[in-house]
Amino acid sequence: MRTRYELNDGWKFSDFFDEAMTAPDFDDQAMKTVRLPHTVRETPFDYFDESIYQMVSCYRKRFTVPEEWKGKKVVLTFEGAAHEATVYWNGEAVTTHSCGYTSFTVDLTDRLNYGEDAVIAVRLDSRESLNIPPFGFVIDYMTYGGLYRGVSIEVSDRTRLADVFLRTEGTPVAPRLVTEIETENPDGRNVFVRQLLLETSSGESPEEAEGSVLTPRLLGTFYPDAIKRAGNAKAEFRCDVSHIRLWDVDRPDLYMIRTELLDAASLEVVDRVDIRYGFRFAEFRTDGFYLNDKKLRIVGLDRHQSYPYVGYAMPASAQETDAAILKNELGLNAVRTSHYPNAHSFIGACDRLGLLVFTEIPGWQHIGDDAWKAQAVRNVEEMVREYRNHPSIILWGVRINESQDDDALYAKTNETAHRLDPSRQTGGVRFLKKSHLLEDVYTYNDFVHNGTNAGCEPKKNVTSDVSKPYLITEYNGHMFPTKTFDDEEHRRDHLLRHARVLNDVAGEEDIAGSFGWVFADYNTHRDFGSGDRICYHGVLDMFRNAKPAASVYAVRGKENVLEVSSSMDIGEHPASNRGVVWIVTNADSVRMYKNDRLLKEYFPKDSPYKNLAHGPIAVDDLVGDALIEGEHFKPAQAAAVKDLMNYSALYGWDKLPPKIMAKAAKCMALYHMTMADAVRLYNKYVGDWGGSATVYRFDAVKDGKVVKTVRKCPFTKVFLEVRPDRTDLVERETYDVASLRIRAVDENGNLLPYFNEPVSVIPE
């Protein structure tokens, strides 16, 4: 039976490399002791460049090889080493791996001195001058460096299951499990395969399930001749499965599929591999995406795996928190891991949460020389082999993001993906219209929207083959960078741009869906961003605090959402004109009050975004019945004056359209009103000039009950709102972290976007 040992503690680190550091007897006391995941250099929040982490560094780990490992297969695994790692075992270079985003292994079986100390050393090159993807030209994201994912050793019998790949065939009504195995059997033992399905409450492993495992169901027993012969072999077998629930975005049911290798004579279990697996049918078709034969519109965001200060080096809990934000807070059904594979802890959380994943090979626009291209093909192979058992992954990205056509290269990448995984389709993110299409899905970055035009282009205008599926993989982003401290109009327009794209994509029946750029802000190179080395493209900031645009997605979730685009402070706006105020909610209606007087009740049908179930709704009445109640106007006069005042409140007094001018003339002719009257009434009922403080209240109503309230009035106090993603830290494979999202808010919970005082945290 196999056992896994985590090697994430007690590493020594140096920010420079010397060959002497690889020797077993090197005195490493002066090196810094670190835990993995680790970054080669902690960075400032902003105003730094990539030179800070570009170095050749060294990691060392000393441990004792147990005697009980004698006669076993021993494999060392690095989950992520950015970006080119040469591994030394007791001073001898044993492998070099040239991709910072996929894992790699080292077979130590014949290199062990049992009962003695051993030293692992790693020469790690994080320079961006490497001739490997994504390097070679400028890149719109920082690439960092370090052993930023875990390291482990797995010990098993020498006769073992070297690889197990599961996929589903058949139909949603009659699914069939297909298993491909690779075995190592150096002694030619007479072995066979047994496969079991273990159902647990949430798809955890039997060891983690704490008694919730139900009775294992035997799927089948298989006796492939190939695996009985000495050496390495491959085999494939199928079995029908019944009474299982399909994995879906709304109910992501997972099962544990246990594949065992047994000795035919003793019936002893020689090796065992447990895989969390979801049975599902995912297919991009001409008219869209189908999950389990049901059409599903993909609504997602792109994600960078970076964090402030530590770059890529965050443990599983932080990765899982990001997935939970995407699914539970933003209500998304998909994520694209741009522009490289993300950690298994993140993808595993997507499996458990029901979040579809489009993952792709490393790269950004540049295609290098033949050696560079060969590495890109290897990256496809490593990505597919490593991640293909994750049910959440629905599409392989096999082109370099936004690169030019290269038919020879992309013929190889497509062939590699299809050969290693015939169950999934391929895509290749491009900014080119009508480009060569070797992939199964035309995946395109559509940045056509500028705030006033259509949110997306029709499929026929973009793809070179309208019979093939079409998916939008980026929109907005650099077209409208938005900071949490930008002025109110800017933040409002950011919200509306995301709503417009979502609305227009939803109106195109043959577009499978879209991924918005981007989930959260990120550090970048000097050629991009806002001069401070930050790309403010996210609907969240770098600390995962939401900008107003996040609400456009969050209405899809289960939480009650009520976002009002304005602080209602007139001094925030040019000429003290608030402009159009927008409400975003997933409630049945929103009642708007001014000083406890109802102005109007708004409903989803009032939104101009007709393709969205809960599109933004424009506030078009700041007067209500006030003129009848406060000025004793007759209904006709009140209606005319109200229309004049509301139009002026939204669009200003300049260039009034003929329809509004006619109403103004009517008020002057019939009711003998003057401009002085207009100014007085506007200031009293709309402008909020010179009077006592005004309180606007918005009540979100669902099923006849108020479920959320937003109050807008001048603040009197500042509070720090602190939202921890957990209160207990639990060490698993490595150290744990807690995310504390901190915002400055007023007494009503409204964000104070211009409050920029430092926050000090003093540990007890």
Active site residue: 320, 329, 474, 488, which one?
474
| CB proximity list for 533: less than 8 A, separation 6 or greater | 46, 47, 48, 49, 142, 523, 524, 525, 526
Long-range pairs of 32-35 with CB within 8 A, sequence gap ≥ 24: 34/59, 35/8, 35/9, 35/10, 35/11, 35/734, 35/735
- 128 catalytic per annotation: no
Q: What is the dihedral of CA 569, 571, 572, 577, to 10 degrees?
A: 90
Q: How far apart are the first and last CA of the chain?
A: 45
Two structure tokens written together for 184:
């190592």
Do 80 and 145 contact (CB within 8 A), yes or no?
no
* CA–CA distance, 751 with 764 (Å, rounded to integer): 28
Two structure tokens written together for 104:
């790699």
Query: What one-character-per-residue DSSP string does 642-657 give?
Result: HHHHHHHHHH-STT--
Backbone angles phi, psi at 559, to 5 degrees: -80, 150
Active site residue: 84, 184, 329, 402, which one?
402
* CA–CA distance, 124 with 38 (Å, rounded to integer): 12
| CB proximity list for 418: less than 8 A, separation 6 or greater | 426
- 402 catalytic per annotation: yes
* CA–CA distance, 602 with 583 (Å, rounded to integer): 9
Closest CA to 317 of 6, 7, 738: 738
* CA–CA distance, 183 with 19 (Å, rounded to integer): 37
- Cite the beta strand spans of 446-552 per DSSP E: 470-474, 513-516, 522-523, 534-535
Do 698 and 590 contact (CB within 8 A), yes or no?
yes
Do 156 and 545 contact (CB within 8 A), yes or no?
no
Beta strands 298-303 and 334-337, pairing class: parallel
Bond from prior residue into 564 cis (ω within 30 degrees of 0)? no
Point out the residues that are catalytic: 402, 474
